[in-house]
Amino acid sequence: MPRPLMNIKETLRSTSPCRVFVGLSGGVDSAVSAALLKDAGYNVTGVFIKVWQPDFLPCSWRDERRDAMKVSIALNIPFLFFDFEEEYKRGVVDEMIAEYKAGRTPNPDVLCNREIKFGAFWKKARELGADYIATGHYSCVLPSPPLGNFTEGRARYVLKEGNDKEKDQSYFLWTLNQDDLAHTLFPIGHLEKSLVRKLARRYHLPVSEKKDSQGICFIGDVSMNEFLSHFISTKPGNVLNTKGEIIGNHKGALLYTIGERHGFEIIKKQSEDGAFYVLSKDIKTNTVTVSNKEPEIISLSPTKITIKNINLINELATSSLSARIRYRGEKIPIIIKHQTSDTVTVEFKEPVRGLSLGQSIVFYDNEVCLGGGVMDKILH
């Protein structure tokens, strides 16, 4: 079979048959990643990662492992099984539940990437002799472009958006650092999803027609509210308008995200009223404040916030700095007003709707992901 890419070895950053452990989830993206790497001359080992799953959901990991094993057999590569149940429960699930209890809205996929895929997975792979790990993320790791003749002390790599903008996952990868990028490969980051499907068929992979997974990272197709209801005690409360008047009810203030427009009931509503959006929530009083008036929503939206848990892949010194405050959200022009080793103060050029504390804000210079942090406090 002809190589799908003319310069795949250069694209994947290797000139020798390095040993690569590929995280095989049982899906098509990771399967094609393994196939491309093997076709490019790498010494590839497939790895299925088992994580914690709650008792109230169907046990799906055995089916996913079976599909991952079928891929390994089809590619004639070794197959390993890593059990990171304890690491996932402690570093992802417990952390996520604690954040929701505090009234914030965390990103479980960000936690999962940091703790499991690029944490525990790499640690175990390195112990077993791997030079690299690889995943099916739609993002690209590239060498930093030289700056004149002087490169000493500069970051060696940049994290770039995936070429398929509908699938780009750089938003979830902001916690990676230069050490992570040095031993990480994203074989399909430069491809469109449609081509990945075609390659899966060309390689005769048994998962070529399998649907993409949805839901919480690794756990599966379950809504966040349903998941949290098993760990957090909530009670119904009042939905308020901006005047403090009761206009509806909700299932529990902890469960709502700023900007959300579903999951609560508006009782006092006119037929011509548009959608109501969550503007704020008060955990102590168990109330949610909403509005359906555009001028009101904009006037109450923040223009300045502080960021914590900062991780910078590359410096923020750029005149074209922008940020995303949600996955697949539009990039918003920003100005860095203050920066220390612990926090960053960000000013938006216009009020930002739907900004939810606890969520990730990710910085970009055009298509390059510079890093990010967690939105901590709104400044007035």
Q: Are residues 197 and 325 in the same domain?
A: no
- The answer to whether residue 366 sits within a structural domain is yes
Looking at residue 212, its pLDDT comes to 83
Residue 171 and residue 328 in contact, taking contact as beta carbons nearer than 8 Å: yes
Looking at residue 215, its pLDDT comes to 57
- The candidate with the shortest Cα–Cα distance to 64, out of 78, 76, 46, is 46
In CATH, what number is assigned to the domain containing residue 281?
2.30.30
- The answer to whether residue 145 sits within a structural domain is no
- The answer to whether residue 303 sits within a structural domain is yes
CA atoms 243, 246, 248, 254: torsion sign: positive
Looking at residue 364, its pLDDT comes to 96
pLDDT along the chain (380 residues), means of 10: 38 66 96 97 96 84 94 98 96 94 92 96 97 97 67 76 96 97 97 96 95 68 81 93 94 91 85 83 94 90 94 86 94 90 90 92 96 92
Q: Are residues 80 and 101 in the same domain?
A: yes
- The candidate with the shortest Cα–Cα distance to 88, out of 64, 111, 61, is 111
Q: Are residues 339 and 367 in the same domain?
A: yes
Q: Are residues 194 and 248 in the same domain?
A: no
Give the per-residue SS3 of 288-330. EEEECCHHHHHHCCCCEEEEEEEEECCCCCCCCEEEECCCCCC
Q: Are residues 24 and 118 in the same domain?
A: yes
Q: How far apart are CA 10 and CA 12, in angstroms?
A: 5
Neighbours of 11 (CB within 10 A): 18
In CATH, what number is assigned to the domain containing residue 41?
3.40.50.620
Q: Bridge partners of 360? A: 374
- The candidate with the shortest Cα–Cα distance to 278, out of 357, 353, 224, is 353
Q: How far apart are CA 140 and CA 162, in angstroms?
A: 6
Q: Are residues 219 and 283 in the same domain?
A: no
Query: What range does the domain containing 320 cover?
Result: 299-378
Domain count, the chain: 3
Q: Are residues 21 and 118 in the same domain?
A: yes
Instruction: Give this prediction's pTM.
Output: 0.89
Q: Bridge partners of 5? A: none
Looking at residue 342, its pLDDT comes to 84
Residue 116 and residue 88 in contact, taking contact as beta carbons nearer than 8 Å: yes
Burial of 145 (0-12, 13-18, 19+ CB in 10 A): exposed
Q: How far apart are CA 92 and CA 111, in angstroms?
A: 6
Q: Are residues 28 and 99 in the same domain?
A: yes
Q: Which of 224, 246, 281 is the last residue of a domain?
A: 224
In CATH, what number is assigned to the domain containing residue 316?
2.40.30.10
DSSP at 173? G
Structure tokens at 53: 């799953």
User: Which residue blocks in 141-293 are alpha helix, DSSP H?
Assistant: 178-182, 193-202, 224-228
CA atoms 109, 85, 29, 5: torsion sign: positive
- The answer to whether residue 180 sits within a structural domain is no
- The answer to whether residue 305 sits within a structural domain is yes
Q: Are residues 254 and 353 in the same domain?
A: no
Beta-strand ranges (E) seen in 94-200 are: 132-134, 139-143, 157-161, 184-185
- The candidate with the shortest Cα–Cα distance to 160, out of 137, 179, 135, 139, is 139
Looking at residue 5, its pLDDT comes to 37
List CB contacts of 311: < 8 A, sequence separation 6 or more. Answer: 174, 175, 176, 177, 371, 372, 373
Q: Are residues 242 and 354 in the same domain?
A: no
Q: Are residues 202 and 246 in the same domain?
A: no
Q: Which of 293, 311, 340 is the last residue of a domain?
A: 293
Q: Which residues are catalytic?
A: 112, 217
Q: Are residues 108 and 216 in the same domain?
A: yes
The amino acid sitting at 42 is: Y
Q: How far apart are CA 45 and CA 316, in angstroms?
A: 37
Q: How far apart are CA 103 and CA 366, in angstroms?
A: 32
- The answer to whether residue 151 sits within a structural domain is no
